Structure 1
Amino acid sequence: MGVFRRKGKPRLLSVVVPVYNVADYVADSLDSILRQPLREVRAIEVVVVDDGSTDGSAEIVKGISANDPRVRLITQPNSGVSIARRAGIEAATGDLLTFVDPDDILPRDAWTTMLRSLRRTGSDFAVGAAERVSVVDGEERRYVTPLMRRNHSRTRLKCRIEDAPLMLADVFVWNKIFRRSFWTDNDITFPERTRYQDQVALTQAFLAARSFDVLTDVVYDWRVRNDLSSATQKRAQIANLVERITTKRQTVELVAATGSEELMRTLRTEILPIDMWEHFRAAVDPATENPDRYWSLLREAVLELWYDAGVPFEETTVPRGQRLMAWLVARDRRDDLADLIEMIDERGPARTIEAFAAAEDLPVGL
């Protein structure tokens, strides 16, 4: 059972918060951390790593830390979120480790259920559900992604990835609590200078874990920012596409090393395809950077990750319209893809796909 059975030793949870130019959000985020009830740990430490902010974020954190000794600020030249998180992990002293992004908010009691589960099961980490939170016309809206809903529909304790291969889709670091020894002993690493570093690190974690606990509780509020500054809202950039493809390749290598056909099949059919539709759309958007280069990179990736690997995109589980988009990309039909997306936006997917299918000799799966 690890740290929970050591008598006389305080049970400390380290919270790592990487910060870069989030002056409008960081105070609320830290407040939600500091207000967490401590029913299963005696104390927390909040290690904030300012990654060269220029908007006053560090000064805000300094003010908070001056009034609350649980908050510790580390500053570094701008180096990227991966290096910031690494610095936070190295500075952390707790036996348990979790992460919060500084533009997100924790629910009122985010940690109790995960900590209690770890105490009872001795698993390497616990993972809860997350809700996406947005504000539209002044009204808060909450949304759980379909894969998140499927993965967290029931409690599964002392689980292994072979028992729940779809958990490889839970590529977020902030809805989990880890034993820090598990993290460091397995040399789990965030790739540097990429917007999608969580997928590689979390794939490492799921594959390395002797067991993990899957809970139904919502433990994290994932805020959708409206200022287009979030990495997930910049799909039309070449660098974004390259980082996405690189991350997928690294994930494939990690899963391939296990030798598990079931894990690899789940990865290619249910996990790798889920965000590709954004890049299919970006490929025919007039605002996309260097559209010819973008198209070439996208097509190479679709062929490599699916068709050349023997798993045509038609066999994936994403919606039919997205499978059709990938099929057009693979066949180098950029103009037809643009027409298809325009028709979907005007008529809706069902009517558009029906009309397209009537005019094409489509393969099985489309």
Structure 2
Amino acid sequence: MKWSLLRRRGRSPEVGVVVPAYGVEQWLPEALDSLIAQQHTTWRAVVVDDGSPDRCGEIAEEYAARDSRITVLHTPNGGLGAARNAGTAALDCDYLAFLDSDDVLPANALADLVGSLEESGSDFATGSVLRWEAPPPDGAGLHEPPWMRRLHTPGRTRARVGEHPEILGDVFAWNKLFRRSFWDAQQLSWPEQVHYEDQPATTRAYLAGTFDVLQAPVYHWRIRTDGSSITQQRREVSDLVDRWATKQMALESVLAHGDPAVTRVFVDRVLPGDLWRYFLVIPGCSDAWWELLREGIGQLWGERSLVHSGLPPVHRSCGYLVERNRRADAEALITWFTSLTGPPPRTYDGLRLAIPGDVVRAASVPDSALEIAPHEQPRP
């Protein structure tokens, strides 16, 4: 239903917000408080108590007793994807949003997203994100990651993926607002029983619809430092199994879409985007984890090789070493890299990464892996 018709009928669009909750009792109140403080007040939320072992269910019920817009759904533990799907099924609203229960919505979030979609008529919108880390010197405080700013600048309306394929790198569920009719028509859902469920679903949405890209931050993403979040468990074989599975799901959707230019950007720039986080834990990894890393890279990139990817030269070089099963060299490279107190050194002409010979012989890594990309060159 268009905004003009809703306005004539005297009601503003209603947003349904799904808030899955598991083991986050210390953060859930702040998340719900941020929802209550939204400038766009026409919303309904379902907190899905995903069999949480702590007081999440009780806290959610307390909020529901104070605000009739909040309801609570208690389910057996099924994981984040299942909780989001259960919450979605329980809502019937004009728009659909997702809020992780350890994060926070800035007050403008729903208003900005709804306003954009009502003006443009797009199928969904995505806004920028601020990472919420410990304050300096231990963290960076509240800040916009440069890669997120790049994906969201300039803003766009009624875009299609062929016009902005790099946006496929914005994989998150929670900085987006979906038109519910679009969500249902495309039969979108979150994969269940697997971590990293955001990417397959958001990839399908980008490929299928029109979208608005907002420069304004619409989400505060809390970076937990206690090791309890899913994304901090990368040394586990099960974590890497799930990551390869969800990457493969997303790649299959892109290949089925059939646009060679979009596929090229996805394979070279989007798909390898978070591999550096796995490369960092190569030193000390188990044999099974190493083999899984090597096999996954081989299956996803094959003869294309990560040498041609958009990763920085250190990580392109590491990817090349993993592809060649050169584990000792990969470990040495990452150990050297993480010991640096500044940017990695370059050759005299500034055109290539300069890896010390006692770490990895430069001649044993192709120049294409070591070259500094134009956007990595210092600005005059």
TM-score (ref. length: structure 1):
0.93
Instruction: Please tell me whether the aligned partners of residues 314 and 364 of structure 1 are also in contact (alpha carbons under 8 angstroms).
Output: no
Q: CA deviation at 1:254?
A: 0.4
Q: CA deviation at 1:139?
A: 7.5
1:363 is matched with which residue? 366
* Cα offsets for 1:46-96 (capped at 9, x unmatched): 111110011111101111111111110000010111111111111112111
Q: CA deviation at 1:21?
A: 1.0
CA–CA separation in structure 1 for the residues paired with 2:159 and 2:362 = 47
2:329 is matched with which residue? 336
> After the TM superposition, which residues 1-366 of structure 1 pair with which residues of structure 2 at under 5 Å, given as runs?
2=2, 5-6=5-6, 7-8=8-9, 10=11, 11-38=13-40, 43-136=42-135, 141-209=141-209, 211-285=210-284, 288=285, 291-306=286-301, 308=302, 310-347=303-340, 349-350=344-345, 353-356=354-357, 359-366=362-369
Matched-pair identity in %: 38
Q: CA deviation at 1:140?
A: 6.5
Counterpart code for 1:355: P
CA–CA separation in structure 2 for the residues paired with 1:9 and 1:85 = 30
Counterpart code for 2:366: P
Q: CA deviation at 1:30?
A: 0.2
- Tell me: CA distance 1:223–1:245, structure 2 relative to 1, closer, same or farther (3 Å): same
Structure 2 residue matching 1:72: 3-state secondary structure: strand
Gap runs ≥5 in structure 2: 347-352, 370-380
Name the stretch that deviates more: 244-253 or 355-364. Answer: 355-364
Name the stretch that deviates more: 91-100 or 235-244. Answer: 91-100
- Tell me: CA distance 1:353–1:302, structure 2 relative to 1, closer, same or farther (3 Å): farther
Structure 2 residue matching 1:148: 3-state secondary structure: helix
Q: CA deviation at 1:107?
A: 1.1
CA–CA separation in structure 2 for the residues paired with 1:212 and 1:139 = 33
Counterpart code for 1:30: L
Counterpart code for 1:113: D
Structure 1 residue matching 2:191: 3-state secondary structure: coil
CA–CA separation in structure 2 for the residues paired with 1:339 and 1:132 = 31
Counterpart code for 1:360: A
Structure 1 residue matching 2:142: 3-state secondary structure: strand
Counterpart code for 1:196: Y
Q: CA deviation at 1:353?
A: 3.7
Instruction: Please tell me whether the aligned partners of residues 317 and 365 of structure 2 are also in contact (alpha carbons under 8 angstroms).
Output: no
Structure 2 residue matching 1:111: 3-state secondary structure: helix
* Cα offsets for 1:215-256 (capped at 9, x unmatched): 100000001012111111110000000000011111110000
Q: CA deviation at 1:343?
A: 1.4
Q: CA deviation at 1:4?
A: 5.0
* Cα offsets for 1:92-120 (capped at 9, x unmatched): 12111111000001112112222111111
TM-score (ref. length: structure 2):
0.89
2:374 is matched with which residue? none
Structure 1 residue matching 2:59: 3-state secondary structure: helix
* Cα offsets for 1:198-218 (capped at 9, x unmatched): 000000110110x11111000
Q: CA deviation at 1:280?
A: 1.9
Counterpart code for 1:320: P
Q: CA deviation at 1:319?
A: 0.7
Name the stretch that deviates more: 105-114 or 245-254. Answer: 105-114
Structure 2 residue matching 1:360: 3-state secondary structure: helix
CA–CA separation in structure 2 for the residues paired with 1:189 and 1:120 = 26
CA–CA separation in structure 2 for the residues paired with 1:274 and 1:163 = 20
Counterpart code for 1:33: L
Q: CA deviation at 1:358?
A: 5.6
* Aligned CA-pair RMSD: 1.8
Structure 2 residue matching 1:84: 3-state secondary structure: helix
Name the stretch that deviates more: 235-244 or 272-281. Answer: 272-281
Q: CA deviation at 1:3?
A: 5.5
Gap runs ≥5 in structure 1: none
Structure 2 residue matching 1:325: 3-state secondary structure: helix
Aligned residue-pair number: 356
* Cα offsets for 1:13-64 (capped at 9, x unmatched): 11110010110000010000011012xxx62101111100111111011111
CA–CA separation in structure 2 for the residues paired with 1:267 and 1:166 = 7
CA–CA separation in structure 2 for the residues paired with 1:342 and 1:148 = 28
Structure 2 residue matching 1:214: 3-state secondary structure: strand
* Cα offsets for 1:313-343 (capped at 9, x unmatched): 1111111000011111011111111111111
* Cα offsets for 1:252-274 (capped at 9, x unmatched): 10000011111111111111111
